[in-house]
Structure 1
């Protein structure tokens, strides 16, 4: 009997040394996370991404590496993330342009943001600023409108690309103010601002962060904030409504998204990390100083924002007759 027991024990121990044990599932994250920005370095999306990456890296315990994949009005970066593995290691710093505008402009979008990307959190709402070259003889919005009416087709406005919020903001301004300011698309905000300062174009309506330093230095003149309230960094700059252009409100935002199919526990962990980052007093103060209002929504709230804004921008595109050039 003892021999039989010894033989059975030996067999069991032998099998234990032969059969592999099931590997323990690694806790997320266990390697660096890539945060994709679909625009060139230096713009408001890039600035936010780098601030957020620094805070999230501390919270998650792994590096969060910002990568710029610009082109096609944000479609290249968005498509890259949409096709990435849904494992939480490739994220998108999403903005309104590629997320809610491009589906109405591009008949053959390489991906569908509402289906191929999973909302994590609305990060910030951006103030949009209307600024002109300081040499233009207009001290306020009404004077600029009068100047534009006196020079139909002779003035121009820049944007980081055709179909971007800055482009559509300019077309909406033309429509509501009854002027003809020509659109000049650039490859990124920095290039447009550089030409605006040099006097090659006359106006821009874009997110405040890349414009603010040049307004403060006197190289650009701020005319109005295209929002429902004044911006904290520029309390003396009126809203478009206060400046006499009723209804000129351009809602811009940025959020964090992952490939569709990313496990819910990972979505929740990333959401918690984002909310913690945005609630940090130093982060909040920094963002507000750049003209961005920290939000930190739930994934469901962000999904609703995307749905509503997709309809709003589609109606604007139709009313202004905006088409890809």
Structure 2
């Protein structure tokens, strides 16, 4: 008996046995018997839906877990965010969030029913949507510095449009106002399309927008792209400089989409979900699906995504403060 027990102890302490034990895969943290619900804060059919279905398909295909998309639209994504912030942190309820809902909204709105910085867990980024500075072709400017010089000659200042007050596009325009020193007045619209029409007609003089919203007009020649707000030039607009190349430093702004969960999630659950998302984005099918909405695949680990998200919240809070943007109580 003693010999057998000693033999067992030796086997357990053998390096090979230890390494083999460590090499065993960690038990899955997601309960395979529970349906994972991916919550979207907007109506069906938009780009957020494409991102959410990449995640649900990946959970089914990689882990054999039933996963569904659940739309809870309203209040600019706040209804969905509130629901997820109060859900169980077991990974069965996830949220598709973006730079607007998790970067701009907490900077603009003070009385949210949750604390954005405290009540969510960053799991992984999926994609980015590059933004572009556009003007009408009736403008005398052909680059950013010419536009700034022309703007300074306008006695009544210039108007810039956006998809709506308090959006990331609105605050990008405010950031440009601060960086350029131009006298600019914000004109909010109900969406991108009417703003683009007024830009083409000369009723507003400039706007920043997500590239998919204005790419057709740029290609068709009815809008002029002066710069992109990404850190490097875009393959789809190779001749358009970045804001830094155009002479406006410290101006990298992208709209991102990623997956969040409630606070206090198990780190192993977060890692499991992050790995699933990264693998899905890296696949040819995932990349093709993102291209259909003109999104750039931008996988990031949970830690990397957390850093991006929190830096965005800080940056937009500073813009709101420095530009004296009215904050909703």
Q: For residues 287-308 of structure 1, what are the alpha-carbon distances to aligned partners after superposition, in whole Å with 9 as ceiling and x for unaligned?
A: 4686644332222222222333
Q: How large is the Cα RMSD of the aligned pairs?
A: 3.3
- 1:233 counterpart SS class: coil
Q: Distance in 2 between matches of 1:321 and 1:74?
A: 24
Give the TM-score of the pair, scaled to structure 2.
0.76
Q: How many residues align?
A: 299
Shift of 1:82: 1.7
Shift of 1:124: 2.7
Query: Highest CA radius of gyration, 1 or 2?
Result: 1
- 2:245 counterpart SS class: coil
Match of 2:14?
none
Match of 2:233?
230
Q: Distance in 1 between matches of 2:30 and 2:319?
A: 47
Q: Does 1:112 align with 2:105?
A: no
Match of 1:28?
32
Q: Does 1:136 align with 2:142?
A: no
Name which of 196, 213, 216 aligns with 2:219.
216
Relative distance call for 1:234 and 1:78 in structure 2 (3 A) is same
1:148-227 equivalences in 2 (<5 Å): 148-153=151-156, 155-190=158-193, 192-193=195-196, 195-196=198-199, 200-227=203-230
Shift of 1:227: 2.7
Match of 1:20?
none
Q: Does 1:255 align with 2:258?
A: yes
1:273-284 equivalences in 2 (<5 Å): 273-284=276-287
Task: Decide whether the 8 Å contact of 1:162 with 1:185 is kept in 2.
Answer: yes
Shift of 1:238: 0.8
Name which of 321, 325, 328 aligns with 1:318.
321
Q: Distance in 2 between matches of 1:29 and 1:193?
A: 48
Q: Does 1:147 align with 2:150?
A: yes
Match of 1:16?
none
Shift of 1:38: 4.7
Relative distance call for 1:304 and 1:247 in structure 2 (3 A) is closer
Match of 1:12?
none
Give the TM-score of the pair, scaled to structure 1.
0.76
Match of 2:80?
77
Task: Decide whether the 8 Å contact of 2:43 with 2:73 is kept in 1.
Answer: yes
Relative distance call for 1:218 and 1:314 in structure 2 (3 A) is same
